[in-house]
Chain A
Amino acid sequence: MPMEVLPGPAGYIPTPAAFEGVELPAPGKALLHGKIVDEELAMREAAKAMLTRRNPTIFPGPLVLWGWNAGAMEKAKAVLELSMEIPNCRIIPMPDYRPKYPKIDPEAEINPNHPNLTILHNKIEACIFVGVHCHYANLSLRMIRAGTNCFTIALCAEMGHEDAMVSLRDVHAEEIRKFRDVLVQVRNELGIKWEPKMPPENPSLPKEEYQTLSVLDYGEYSYLLIPRRGEHVTETE
């Protein structure tokens, strides 16, 4: 009997769901709480979570955020369409996977190496992972299940993720639009009134005016940027 994959906190370093008998679904099927079910049913449960739990958030990964091919850009468009239909939805991006030390801004981005910071800070109880490379999605989803009570939904372009509460497979732009239609249907059934609108913009700091900065703005450290007077690069050879 495979384990039931439920929102956490499951405790420090939980056993991966794959080790507890959860298997990835065949094409056309999906995972709901670790069980293989019809895609439609999984979509409805995912939609219900995004519509009823607190602070629903979409975490788009690099495969969506960066327009590296036509498919990625189309998928990005579909993600934005989906976000418009979820009441009070937010978009917090995961632009890459590099570690962020000494600290990240949890309202502006999510980092796969410590996703719990962003989720706990923003009190997110339902989220969608889309466009995140599978190895980092696996890492993040397990950490989220370990330390938070967030309901995780993986819209995976490959085979899916055992550690997500709902995992859909082979998800591209077309399937995201199908999920959006299911979500609108569930929203109407639940009697939630919502006019589609774009989520709020990223709250990170305003950009610096690099054009107007000069070396002299760096004060006593400017000597690290420019050679001293009279100092020349000796010619080689």
Chain B
Amino acid sequence: MGLEYVRISPGFEKYMPKDYVDLVQYGQFGKEIDVQQLGQFKELVEEHPMCAGCFMAYFVRVFYASLPKPEDTIVIGTAGCARLALSQAAVPFIYGNYGDTNAVASGLKRALSIRFPDKEKDVVVIAGDGGLIDIGFGMTMHSWFRREKFTTIMVDNEVYGNTGGQESGMSPRGVQLKMAPKGKQFDKINAVELAKVAGCVYVAKLAPTNPKRIAKTVRRAILAARHFGPTFIHAYTSCNIEYSIPTEKVLEDARKREKQDFGFYEWMTDEVKEFFEELERKPEEVKA
């Protein structure tokens, strides 16, 4: 299995749309891609119907370019903005009902490990703040309590962007939104600390201002989930529509938030730290 999925049947090469031929010839399947090569290879996701200036779309793009083994990865999403791009990528995608993504991912990961015992299959949940920390809170937490070996990525736009701008648990205190005119009365939930307490072995928080850092974090989260247990990334992906951020100011806003409350933060257990030290030291040793 694995790479054999991305081999066109002999004779059909000239009948496939060029998109797919390019994906096989110039795509990331079976190759080590550096995120800085973005634009120089056929990407897993290209066209998508997300809003102009959407920072989540950018994060999703970099996420796909960072996958260590896209041919053996399954992505799970749910209602929300991210799934609009996720479902169009050339990586299998499962649409969970709202809130049950981590329960679906748990079952899927277990089934894959039974079906392909000698193969590493990565399962990644990408959902919004509503899907994971509001409505999906119970199932998210319980998947972490059970130490399920998959990665959860929260693309946090701090609002229910699809349904008109209701406040979410991740909206900052005091923020006024279209459907929250009095301003939010409570603090933003500290998802990172919750993940640590609930049993995640690798936790990171970032504002996606630097593609190399996103790639490194995503890769680490997936590799740690493969070997040790649940991992979690909390990414700030602003909603430029609901928060009225002009398109050209979106990156500026992310940099501002990075300085305020979304500074890069990474935590991992000792065994995961040892694992990465070992893994990331090897190339230097080879060079020496």
Q: Which of A201, A225, A237 contacts B36 (CB 8 A)?
A: A225
A203–B287 CA distance with the chains assembled, in angstroms: 48
Contact call A210/B9, Cβ cutoff below 8 A = no
Q: B93 — which chain A residues lie within 8 A by C-beta?
A: 98
A108–B8 CA distance with the chains assembled, in angstroms: 16
A215–B8 CA distance with the chains assembled, in angstroms: 29
Contact call B212/A233, Cβ cutoff below 8 A = yes
Number of B residues, CB within 8 Å of A = 46
- The stretch from B19-27, B127-135, B185-193 touching chain A is B19-27
- The stretch from A3-11, A63-71, A159-167 touching chain B is A63-71
Which residue in chain B gives the minimum CB-CB distance to A75?
A: B9
Contact call B12/A210, Cβ cutoff below 8 A = no
Contact call A101/B251, Cβ cutoff below 8 A = no
A225–B94 CA distance with the chains assembled, in angstroms: 28
B41 within 8 Å of A (CB atoms)? yes
Contact call B40/A65, Cβ cutoff below 8 A = no
Q: Is the interface of A mostly helix, strand, loop or mixed?
A: loop
Q: A96 — which chain B residues lie within 8 A by C-beta?
A: 90
- The stretch from A24-32, A187-195, A216-224 touching chain B is A216-224
Q: Known contacts A65-B9, A73-B10: does B17 contact A204 (CB below 8 Å)?
A: yes
A154–B3 CA distance with the chains assembled, in angstroms: 29
- The stretch from B42-50, B144-152, B176-184, B236-244 touching chain A is B42-50
Contact call B11/A76, Cβ cutoff below 8 A = yes
> Contact string, A162-199, partner B, CB cutoff 8 A, digits 1/0?
00000000000000000000000000000000000001
Tell me the smallest distance from the CB of A175 to a CB of chain B, in Å.
Answer: 17
Contact call A80/B11, Cβ cutoff below 8 A = yes
Contact call A202/B11, Cβ cutoff below 8 A = no
A64–B15 CA distance with the chains assembled, in angstroms: 12
Contact call B251/A224, Cβ cutoff below 8 A = yes
Q: A208 — which chain B residues lie within 8 A by C-beta?
A: 22
Tell me the smallest distance from the CB of B17 to a CB of chain A, in Å.
Answer: 4
Q: Which of B12, B22, B40, B49 contacts A207 (CB 8 A)?
A: B22
Q: Which of A60, A98, A206 has the largest count of B CB atoms less than 10 A from its CB?
A: A98
Tell me the smallest distance from the CB of A228 to a CB of chain B, in Å.
Answer: 9
B105 within 8 Å of A (CB atoms)? no
Q: Which of A67, A101, A213 contacts B9 (CB 8 A)?
A: A67
B31 within 8 Å of A (CB atoms)? no
The 5 closest A-B pairs by CB, nearest first: A76-B9, A67-B9, A201-B14, A204-B18, A204-B17
* A-B CB contact pairs (8 Å), 27 listed: A65-B12, A67-B4, A67-B8, A67-B9, A69-B4, A73-B9, A73-B10, A76-B11, A76-B12, A77-B10, A91-B15, A93-B12, A95-B20, A101-B49, A101-B88, A102-B47, A108-B18, A199-B15, A204-B18, A207-B18, A207-B21, A210-B22, A210-B26, A225-B36, A225-B39, A234-B213, A237-B273
